[in-house]
Amino acid sequence: MAERRHRKGLAAVEGLPIIAVLIGLIALFMIAAPQVFLGHRIYLSFLTTVPPVLLLALGLTLVVAAGEIDLSFPSVIAFSGYLLAMCIKDLDMPWLGIPLALLGGALVGFVNGVLIAVVGIPSIIATLGTQFFWSGVTTGISGGTSYSLRTVDQSWVHTIFAGDLGSFPVQFLWALGLTVLVWLLLNRHRFGEHILFIGDSNAVARVVGIQVEAEKIKLFTLMGLLGALAAIILTLENKNFFNTQGQGYLLTALAAVFIGGTSIFGGQGSVVGSFVGAFIIVMIEAGLVATGVQGFWVRAVVGIVFLGAVLFHLGIEQPGRVAEMRRRLAHVLPRRDRSVSNGGEAVRAAPTTRERS
């Protein structure tokens, strides 16, 4: 009977295991690259590099919790970034850039939502298509050139989105505020509850009276808006726009979400996990660079961490799957290797696999 009890007490604190992982990681890098990780400058720099990843991860947490995926956000970083850069440089109206960039992101998201909820294209396919479409459009209208926006720091637009309070970067306040907001939205708001039920099962969501199509359109529009905000902060921080500026975020933002423990099957999402996950992924990148690892290897490691995190959480969420996986593995690997790699256990597993096939 005690087995049926859900997690209570310390184990129920959202994101606790992942916070432990973060602390362990910091300790590791302190040993591996003490000259960098024992100083405070690196941590301060995280406060400017984490926000774009975090804002994307927040939106993705909601999308993944709804059982969907969005692969088009790199194009929002490009498209909204372009709209902002164009207002600053070509029109000399930085203030106009903010609503225009947000509108651009919302448009991309809205179109995604309609394609997924109304037309009925699976989100992985729909957003892959729109990713290509909008990044193509951006390259086309920007002429493929990059914009240097060096003078933008005289504008209040820069002060609000990427300025400094002493040496504390303002964008981190945005990221922090939105983390709280998205947490409340997912865990305490009607909309968040609808997302969780949709992620659990579209059929159940319909039966209990949730307007699945409308909620999905809202969800993807919100994702577009958060992507646009990430684009605004990134572009203003870098004081530069180039039309491939979103591409590096595809892996990192999704990794942050899955490291954080949001379920790849939907129906459950951890905003605290994604918050910590964003730090972990940015720290791994920075830490590897600091220990002298080359860029392409960093990407390879991040890819492994991404898959490792998914596997880890899969094991926690559905322990049965791990046993299943082991059985399949035993089936695929040739007999000799099996007994070497798995010892006695594989031998015991062998008859059952034969029975089943």
Instruction: List interacting residues with another protein (CB under 8 A).
Output: 1-2, 4-6, 184, 188-191, 193-194, 196-197, 200-201, 203-211, 263, 267-268
Q: How far is the CB of 217 from another protein (least distance, A)?
A: 17
Centre a 10 Å sphere on the Cβ of residue 348 and count the other Cβ atoms it contains.
11
Q: 268 or 342, CB closer to another protein?
A: 268
Token pair of 337, please?
């290797």
Looking at the DSSP assignment, which residues form a beta bridge with residue 147?
241
- CA distances 234 to 3, 100, 112, 223, Å, are 47, 16, 23, 16
326 contacts 338 by C-beta, under 8 angstroms: no
Q: How far is the CB of 314 from another protein (least distance, A)?
A: 14
Q: How far is the CB of 219 from another protein (least distance, A)?
A: 15
Q: How far is the CB of 268 from another protein (least distance, A)?
A: 5
Q: How far is the CB of 14 from another protein (least distance, A)?
A: 14
Centre a 10 Å sphere on the Cβ of residue 3 and count the other Cβ atoms it contains.
4
- Residue 202 contacts by C-beta under 8 Å, 6 or more apart in sequence? 67, 212
**What gap in Å lies between CA 151 and CA 154, rounded to an integer?**
6
Amino acid in position 229:
L
Q: 89 or 206, CB closer to another protein?
A: 206
Q: 53 or 69, CB closer to another protein?
A: 69
Q: 16 or 301, CB closer to another protein?
A: 16
15 contacts 277 by C-beta, under 8 angstroms: no
Q: How far is the CB of 160 from another protein (least distance, A)?
A: 25
**What gap in Å lies between CA 84 and CA 109, rounded to an integer?**
17
Cβ-count burial of 234 within 10 angstroms (0-12 exposed, 13-18 middle, 19+ buried)?
buried
Max CA pair span of the chain = 74
Q: 64 or 149, CB closer to another protein?
A: 64
Token pair of 204, please?
């159940």
Q: How far is the CB of 273 from another protein (least distance, A)?
A: 15
Looking at the DSSP assignment, which residues form a beta bridge with residue 281?
none
Q: 201 or 294, CB closer to another protein?
A: 201
Q: 65 or 288, CB closer to another protein?
A: 65
Q: 8 or 40, CB closer to another protein?
A: 8
Q: How far is the CB of 181 from another protein (least distance, A)?
A: 11
240 contacts 152 by C-beta, under 8 angstroms: no
Task: Report the SS3 class of residue 240.
Answer: strand
